[in-house]
Structure 1
Amino acid sequence: MSEVTDNLQAFLDYAKLLKGDEKGEAQVFCDRLFQAFGHKGYKEAGAELEFRIKKKSSKGTSFADLIWKPRLLLEMKRRGENLFHHYQQAFDYWIHAVPNRPRYVVLCNFDEFRIYDFDKQIDEPVDIVALTDLPRRYPALNFLFPEDPDPVFGNDLEAVSRDAADKVAQLFNSLIKRDVDRSQAQRFVLQTVVAMFAEDIGLLPASIVYNLAHDCLHKGQSAYDQFGALFRQMNNKAPADGGRFQKVPYFNGGIFKTVTPVDLQLDELELVAGEEGAATKDWSKVNPAIFGTIFQQSMDAEERHAYGAHFTSEADILRIVMPTIVRPWRERIEQASTMKELLALRSALMSFKVLDPACGSGNFLYLSYRELVRVEIALMAKLKQTVSEKNFREQSKSLTLISPRQFFGIDRDSFGVELAKVTLMLAKKLALDESIDVFEREQMELPLNADEALPLDNLDANFQCADALFANWPETDVVVGNPPYLDARKLTIEHGRGYVDTIRAAYPDVPGRADYCVYWFRKAHDHLPPNSDERPFAGRAGLVGTNTIRQNYSREGGLDYVVSSGGTITDAVASQVWSGEAAVNVSIVNWIKGPHVGKCILQEQLGDRRDSDWKREEVEVITSALTSGADVSKARELKAVTDTKLCFEGQQPGHVGFRVDGAELLNLSQSDPNLHEIAFPYLIGNSLLSGKYAEQPEFLLDFDTLTIFEASQHKAALALVKERVLPKWEENAAKEFETTGLENGEHQNRLKTWWQIKRRRNDMLNAVVSLSRYAVCVRHTKRPLFVFLSNKIRPDSALTVFAFEDDYSFGILQSDTHWHWFVARCSTIKRDFRYTNETIFTSFPWPQNPTLNAVQKVADASRELRILRQSLMKKHGLTYRALYRTLELPGASPLKDAHAKLDQAVRTAYGMKKSDDPLSFLFDLNQSVAKTEDAGKQVTGPGLPPVAKDPARFTSDDCVEIIAPSAGKGAVG
């Protein structure tokens, strides 16, 4: 490594010669820095200087000094500049640096590197490296090396927070294991956490908790007595006259109001004061924004530790806090130019209130408080620049920071509420320390003192342990948070039918199939005051929901209501992989109760991983479907489509026991010459995509509506179903009766015909029985793929069925025109699009007046595409899944060309111009067709149009087939 240190020393010697001019010397500084880390220069490494960054808060374009995607964003400031004030600029640059957003952000003033990893922590840099220490501390900048080794940071708050949470959670779990009352254990552990924080941030004598536990561990003292005495003194306004607690100040009558100590055992004392015990950690480095969640998750199960616990990242929380709370204040401060305006803003800030009605352990409230304190710091800095020194001193005489009492929370989890209180209590001291530090560096003499952190605010009145959907919400200016998600079916399972009925009675206008989180969106909008000139910061909300909130029933109950009731969505994430514990894709919506002036910001994460890239655009309007184009959520159901009933779900057996493989089918057929009457080739979505159906075909035993006596004619098949299916269905029925007390529930009714599959879909079978083939797509899919199946195949419910056999109709479905409609109107599971008849097919308008030639070209292109697919799959040994993944790769391919030809043929059939936006075109066509239907006039529905008078001309015969094993007279075709 001597070569590395030699190079870095040479860079250091050079950098000392520079004056530190941001404009004149920053670029050469960057170039020499890259050379010191083993590159020929920044340009040869692939970095770019003066990278354009479009920011919402400015009308023009800003420029980041250097970007090296996807590793680094480097922003240079002049020598001596206070880098604290440029943190917000660096964060804004990072947020907007999409796609391929850099992992690390570095602020540098020629003397110091402040290194940020915003995906891990936002509150503080993960390390600060002085230029003079670079030859020794360079591992913190390891990402600058061409090989990109993992950096080694000295201020990784996540790692410290996990260590601390793990030890405290183990202590809690140990107390519970030996039958300490849960509420007593929770209270004791929380009080201990506050004390450990306090001793490391200067509110208690140094190491007092460690010394207490150490004396109990090694000197035979009683933990019950020692911790009890400490906590009681922390709740005593009168200082102790002597003894080990005489320097313990009064904290408050909230968290320490009730003291019920625990006599800790030796292994528990080790968890506090052992070699790696909780009290040995530097709690000043524990991040309150994530500690509560990690701790709470880790204590929920005895064997679970903090290292596997998830938390919502600060970056994700700030996607709400910044646009809903911070940005409006910063814009007003930037616009203010007089002392009167700035003092009016400060007065408004002192009465500003924030509510999180699903507060959990307080993460959203903590970050809201922290960022608003930083807003106040910026406001005071602007005031100092604006007025004379005398006026500034006069206005600063009675300075106090905004209070945690301006923040409110509601949650059903009593312990989460207590954690949230603790988090905000501690936030006051941390914010005060940061403010004093900044003001001292700016030589702003303000009457702030670290002692003002005590007593901690008693926040009992600010938090409710209640069901937010039925509780009275406090008056507030903004609402933020992450409400619980549960789809309607799981809501009933989790909370019971009675609770669901109560919710629906209280919120009758929310569709019953809406997600649980939707009720928070609706109540938040109703509760907020209107945004107005008198209250420019009020009437704002920012909430997280599953990405179904922009779809179907959830959208109707929530965002449709918000928009139709005077709300304007100003900043949204259409879909992203959530950083919290739930394995879901979420949407984030920020809105204002009133009109909005200016552009709106719409973002979307483009992949399925937490590090997937982002798309960001500035738009005029964000619709309730969280799109920027035509609001297709307002599309109407078309009678010409619904009357024809051509789109269906496949069959749902209800139990895998109805499915048999080829060998089992062959065995059954030996004793059942009429097996073909009840056994059918069966296809599920994954088998279609993977090609498994060809090598390992499956068959469905479908007794239709046969009575038990008629079904007994197929003795072996019925016995198999009895063995495989009946026990589980009896178990389900028994559980249902135990839960509901009713004898006619779904599972009990199923027992009456236990040999019949759950959902046969007779309407679907009747629609396809007369066709030679029919079209399907996998119901949950990432890619546009439609396939023809033989009419002998029974489709599983994982397939959406279309009763078409002609090439023209297939071409319309397979086109990108239909795919655009599909994506915009569908629901999703994670990022997989789900084809639903009710929202997609019933509103999809078909070409109204295509020429015969246009119809023929669509049919020809459709047929050519399928022939090409089969040829490519056979030649290269590909499955449908593997074949269609190639469309996502760059470069030319015959498959892309075939799709492009079909897409153009379909657009021509619609009469679509090259410049037309497909969604806008289809939405307008939907509205036009609906109006024509309203007038009682004829329209063109799905399928071959009237101009195609000879269906055989447009119908070929290629399709997927499943061949049953040869079985003589009982064979299945």
Structure 2
Amino acid sequence: MARLSLKAVEERVAPLAARESYDREFIFDLLIAFGKPQGNVTRLRNGSLNVAVDTTTEVAQKNVVYFKETANDPLEVIEELKTTPAVVRFSTRFVIVTDYVDLIAHDTKTNETIGFPIQEIDQHFTFFLPWAGMEKAQYVAESHADVKAAERMGKLFDELLHANPGIFEDERGRHSLNIFFTRLLFCFFAEDTGIFGDNQFTNAIGSQTQPDGSDLAEFLTDLFKALDTEYPADKPKHLAEFPYVNGRLFTVTDEQTVPRFTKQAREELISSGKLIWRDINPDIFGSMFQAIVTPGKRSDLGQHYTSVPNILKTIEPLFLDDLKEEINESQDSERRMVRLLDRIAAIKVFDPACGSGNFLVIAYKELRKLEHAILERLAELSPSHQMLWADSRINIENFYGIEIDDFAVEVAILSLWIAKHQMNREFREKFRVEIPLIPLKETGQIKAGNATRVDWNTVCPNDNHAEIYLIGNPPYKGANDQTDDMKRDFPFVFENQGFPKSLDYIALWFKKGADYIRDSSAKLAFVSTNSITQGQQVELLSPYILNEPLEIGYAYTSFKWQNNAKHNAGVTVVVVSLRNRSADPKYLFTGGLRLNADNINGYLADGSVNYVSARRSALAIGLAPMAKGSQPTDGGNLVLDSAARAELLATDPRATPLIKEFLGADEFIDGKERYCLWIADEQLELANSIPQVRSRLAQTAIMRRASKKEATRKFAETPHRFTEIRYKPTNSIIVPSHSSSRRSHIPIGYLGPDAVISNAAFAVYDADPWLFALISSRSHTIWAAAVGGQIKTDYRYSNTIVYNNFPVPLLSDAVKEKLTVAALRVLDVREYHCEQTLAELYDPDKMPQDLRDAHAEIDALVDSIYSKKPYETDEQRLSDLFAMYERMTAEEAAKAPAKKTRRTAK
């Protein structure tokens, strides 16, 4: 026989409560209502199943019930019966005593006793649910909910998708399932924090639903409706003790479907409920659970939230530090403290890419902590301020957000509610005042939408006088990684005007943020990948965000974005804060230090120049020209690996003078052997007399003739030549076009006259060793990192951006001589370790000490060119470099008109 659902039992018990009088038949009808077989109950009634008792006043069945009617006090009688031999020997589950006015029942397994008027049996039927196979659950929280909670909920999510094929595949269905999980999260938190009774939600599921999960959807549907019902009398009797929540969280709509459950899904739900949720960080779990329900993100579980210390990097210098300082300065003034409380209550915090709300949650909690500190001090100053303790003045309605994912919107609102309840508990501990969370009154200001297309003033109006802080971690995508939808967002932000096509996606938030705060008291601080402050991105974005009257108020230079997640993100990021121009101090935070700055430019350096542009020649006088290496455009026919070279020379040794070493970034750094056919015009007859060489030249011609580019097709007539020739038979400096940013110095080489540098590197021919030392320095490396930028985790070098703009004053012969000696020392040390590749030698974890010392000597010499004092940080180096760059470009600009005048005079 199929087990009855909770609702079915409730319906079958209801008629028992409507009777006008009761007799012995009550117990038999009650057993039938709970699904006991009719034949079984008939035999019990006839006495054939009864254990040895007085059948006129008692009914007893092994493992089921011991029922006794009495004219005495039922409570006294049941106390006697609990230990009688019949009850103990036959493991009777329920002992029931009644005088048919009141009923007392005892559960021998859980040791619970309940009493009520017999006519209210319908209100207390859940006590006897074990008869229907729904065992009472008394779960105890076992461990703290953290990333494991998300993983467990992920299993539940997968099981529900499996159990509900097709229902949640479309957008409406996924939204419904997402809302369902939001409700579960609230219930788990509520039963651990006093919003519900202890473990009330999980125990109800365990006690009032079938083990196979068949009736759990029906139960949860009724429960959610009860949580949205204000008066207990209007709720099902078995759910009447659940409180009224409101706040739109449990609002019943036709679109919200509770999924069907399996046995496994029910077990996963109960297991999740047994975790300790009271101390869950709402700033963390929102992002974790968003990963659960987002296709393709499960492997990133816990990765894409920002840790609390990193969030504080945005909000502490932005406004918290100022508030804390004001609190300290106002300690002895009631008037100032009350005024500060008014200020804090009016602050608005806005995250236009809020995700699951972690930035808003931390900002809310930090402001609540400041409020508590002010109230504690006011209590010390004067008891008359106790009237301020009735409630918190930090209102969730002052926290605004925009988020494109609808589930994240719901989780963000839920996160703020949870944060509020946690801070309310702290408020109660400090001031002995209870601030109830429910019924929920504040619904928050989190709006669903595409932040690039939404007018931010419609979400959080900026009236130029409000104290508004924009914070967050907007999405990042490089120009080549953006989806078509992302690319279509750009015209909305730039209002269909022209815009740089290579901008990173996050640039849209900086552009809209700059427009939003311009000419107002609002400020912003965004976390971004550090690429936005490097290379081309600075030149592209700075004109839009660092024009009048805006400036960078503070910034954190590159640091690892790390968190407590299972899979630590480890992305390199910066924090950039924009404000309207102010006399307030500007700060650069780097390496644990806070440095004062006169002006913070787009590279996050102390300098007036916001960005540098490509130059065709070197800014510094006396620097030899640098060019890209020679490019073969040959389809691989003019390039040889070591095996092909050996085979060619073994076949015809006459090819020896036609072959040169061929080095790009990979060959130079990783020690790979590669060669090329370098054939001068006067060697062409020799080349054609060697069959293998002649064949390679023929294949090169075929490849070039097939090109879509006219310029390449022209070179088919001279297949023995590279299409771009910059090689010179002199000593040369090779600079890799890319190099790992883990290295403290870019590995730069000094080559002999027989090495051809490829187009995968840059070359300086006729190079002196002192120049090798100059551009091997730490100063040059950090200049390259700033203005050249990075490709993924590699420095991206450029002759026109990095080298040609590198500011170097005129150097004396004495300085050049010292640099030459230091350069030769580095080359000697490398030669000593010749069995190792440069990749191995410049690995920061394995770099030999003598090589470190040799580079330290170069660094000290080059640093002395720019500063009389040793540098403590790279930011100080960069600041001086930009200062010199500014002076040199200003001098260059001053000379330009004079040159023009002389030409005109001619």
Is the 8 Å Cα contact of residues 327 and 374 (structure 2) preserved in structure 1?
yes
Equivalent pair of 2:518/2:550 in contact (CA under 8 Å)? no
Is this contact kept in 2: 1:171–1:271, CA < 8 A?
A: yes
Task: Single out whichever of 922-931 and 333-342 deviates more from structure 2.
Answer: 922-931
In the other structure, the counterpart of 1:244 is 238
Alpha-carbon offset, residue 821 of structure 1? 3.6
Q: 1:376 deviation in Å?
A: 1.3
Equivalence for 1:617: 594
Of 138, 161, 185, 1:193 maps to 185
Contact conserved, 1:578 with 1:586, CA < 8 A, in 2?
A: yes
Counterpart selection for 1:235 from 228, 234, 256: 228
Distance 1:888 1:339, change over 3 A: farther
1:668: Cα distance to partner? 6.8
2:837 alignment counterpart: 879
The letter for the 1-side match of 2:663 is L
Quote how far apart the aligned CAs of 1:541 are: 1.6
Give 1:207's aligned residue.
199
| Aligned with residue 147 of structure 2, among 148, 162, 171 | 162
Task: Give % identity.
Answer: 23
Deviation, structure 1 residue 547: 1.0
In 2, the alpha carbon distance for the partners of 1:199 and 1:722 equals 78
Counterpart mapping for 1:782-821 below 5 A: 782=743, 783-790=745-752, 793-795=755-757, 798-816=760-778, 818-819=780-781, 821=783
Do residues 468 (structure 1) and 446 (structure 2) align?
Answer: no
SS, match of residue 576 in structure 2: strand
Q: How far, CA to CA, are the matches of 2:426 and 2:367 in structure 1?
A: 13
Higher mean alpha-carbon deviation, 362-371 vs 424-433, is at 424-433
TM-fit CA distance, 1:429:
1.8
Output the amino acid matched with 2:665.
Answer: G
Q: Where does residue 361 of structure 1 map in the other structure?
A: 356
- Aligned amino acid, residue 446 of structure 2: N
Q: Is the 8 A contact 1:410 1:468 kept in 2?
A: no
CA–CA distance in 1 between the matches of 2:635 and 2:524?
A: 46
SS in 2 for 1:254: coil
Hey, what does 1:949 align to over in structure 2? none
* Residue of structure 1 in register with 2:36 after alignment: none
**CA positional deviation for 1:568:** 4.7
**1:436 Cα shift?**
0.9
**Cα distance in 1 between the residues matched to 2:154 and 2:711:** 50
Pair 1:844 & 2:806 matched: yes
Map of 1:116 onto structure 2: none
Matches within 5 A, 1:377-416: 377-387=372-382, 389=383, 391-396=384-389, 399-416=391-408
Q: Deviations over 1:840-864 (max 9, x none)?
A: 212123443x455554554454345
Structure 1: state its 5+ residue gaps. 1-153, 441-445, 532-537, 605-613, 731-747, 940-973
Q: Across the two proteins, how many residue pairs are aligned to each other?
A: 713
Residues 330-353 of structure 1 deviation map (CA, whole Å, 9 limit, x = unaligned) = 222222343333333223333321
**2: CA distance between counterparts of 1:291 and 1:912?**
49
- Residue 595 of structure 1 aligns to a residue in which SS? coil
In structure 2, the CA distance between the partners of 1:530 and 1:345, relative to structure 1 (3 Å rule), is: farther
Decide which of 472, 479, 493 is 1:481's aligned counterpart: 472
Q: Which of 411, 419, 430 is the equivalent residue of 1:419?
A: 411
* Cα 1:169–1:752 shift into 2, 3 Å: farther
Tell me how far apart the structure 1 counterparts of residues 784 and 421 of structure 2 sit (CA, whole Å).
52
Mapped pair 1:268 → 2:245: no
Alpha-carbon distance in structure 2 between the residues aligned to 1:227 and 1:155? 21
The DSSP-based 3-state class of the residue aligned with 2:751 is: strand
Instruction: Give yes or no for the alignment of 1:688 onto 2:668.
Output: yes
- Corresponding residue to 2:726 among 767, 772, 779: 767
Letter in 2 for 1:317: I
What CA deviation, in whole Å up to 9, does each residue of 1:636-664 have, x standing for no partner?
Answer: 76665279993344578999977763224
**Structure 2 unmatched runs, 5+:** 1-139, 169-173, 463-467, 899-906
Counterparts in 2 of 1:471-550, with a 5 A limit?
Answer: 471-473=455-457, 474-475=460-461, 477-491=468-482, 493=483, 495=485, 498-500=488-490, 503=493, 506=496, 508=498, 511-528=500-517, 538-550=521-533
Structure-2 separation of matches of 1:702 and 1:193:
69
Q: Distance in 2 between matches of 1:495 and 1:342?
A: 49
- The answer (yes or no) to whether the contact 1:808–1:859 under 8 Å persists in 2 is yes
Distance of aligned partners of 1:211 and 1:517 in 2 relative to their CA distance in 1, 3 Å threshold: same
Corresponding residue for 1:74?
Answer: none
- Is it true that 1:662 corresponds to 2:642 in the alignment? yes
Matches within 5 A, 1:601-640: 601-604=587-590, 614-621=591-598, 623-625=600-602, 627=604, 629-631=606-608, 633=610, 640=617
Q: CA distance change for structure 1 residues 756 and 315 in 2, over 3 Å: closer, same or farther?
A: farther
Deviation at 1:515, TM superposition (A): 2.2
Q: Deviation of residue 527 (structure 1)?
A: 1.0
Partner of 1:60: none
CA shift, 1:358, in A, is: 0.6
TM-score w.r.t. length of structure 2 = 0.68
- The answer to whether the 8 Å contact 1:576/1:587 transfers is yes
Query: How far apart, CA to CA, are the structure 1 residues paired with 2:229 and 2:325?
Result: 44
Pair 1:217–1:792, CA change in 2 (3 A): farther
2:345 match: 350
2:393 aligned with 1:434, yes or no?
no
Equivalent residues of 1:164, 1:286 under 8 A apart: no
Aligned to 2:99: none
The one-letter code matched in structure 1 to 2:281 is N
CA contact (8 A) 2:731 2:750 kept: no
Q: What is the RMSD of the two structures over their aligned residues, measured on CA atoms?
A: 4.6
Distance 1:247 1:205 in 2: 9
The separation in 2 between residues aligned to 1:911 and 1:616, in whole angstroms, is 21
Equivalent position amino acid for 1:269 in 2: R
Aligned with residue 309 of structure 2, among 302, 309, 315? 315
Match status 1:586 vs 2:573: yes
- Please show how residues 643-792 of structure 1 align to structure 2 within 5 Å: 646-650=625-629, 661-667=641-647, 681-690=661-670, 692-693=671-672, 697-699=673-675, 765-769=724-728, 771-777=730-736, 779-781=738-740, 782=743, 783-790=745-752
Aligned in 2, Cα 1:302/1:646: closer, same or farther, shift over 3 Å?
closer
- Structure-2 change in CA distance of 1:335 and 1:222 (3 Å): same
1:458 paired to 2:443: yes
Amino acid at match of 2:471: V
What SS does the corresponding residue of 1:463 show, helix, strand or coil?
strand
Conserved? CA contact 2:770–2:820, under 8 Å? yes
* Amino acid in structure 2 at the alignment position of 1:776: V
Contact 2:866 2:881 in 1 (8 A): no
Q: 1:266 to 1:751 in 2, by over 3 A?
A: farther
Structure 1 pair 212–372 and aligned structure 2 pair: CA distance change class (3 A): same
Quote how far apart the aligned CAs of 1:271 are.
1.1
Report the AA paired with residue 203 of structure 1: I
Q: CA deviation at 1:686?
A: 4.1
> How far apart, CA to CA, are the structure 1 residues paired with 2:710 and 2:185?
55
Any idea what the Cα deviations from partners look like across 1:904-955, whole Å, max 9, x if unmatched?
76678x697568986566545444443444355799xxxxxxxxxxxxxxxx
Q: Which amino acid aligns with 1:586?
A: V
Instruction: Report if aligned partners of 1:679, 1:701 keep a CA contact under 8 Å in 2.
Output: yes
Question: Which of 1 and 2 has greater Rg?
Answer: 2
The alpha carbon displacement at 1:755 in A equals 14
Question: Which residue number corresponds to residue 903 of structure 2?
Answer: none
Contact 2:624 2:764 (8 Å CA) reproduced: no
Length-normalised TM-score, structure 1: 0.64
2:735 is paired with a residue whose SS is strand
- Relative to structure 1, is the Cα distance of residues 559 and 496 closer, same or farther in structure 2, using a 3 angstrom cutoff? closer
Q: Is the 8 A contact 1:563 1:569 kept in 2?
A: yes
Deviates more, 1:583-592 or 1:209-218: 209-218
Matches of 1:664 and 1:345, distance apart in 2: 78
Match of 1:326 in 2: 320
Distance of 1:770 and 1:372 partners within structure 2: 68
Partner deviation per Cα, 1:608-644 (whole Å, 9 max, x = no partner) = xxxxxx4313324461246564456456766652799
Match of 1:930 in 2: 889
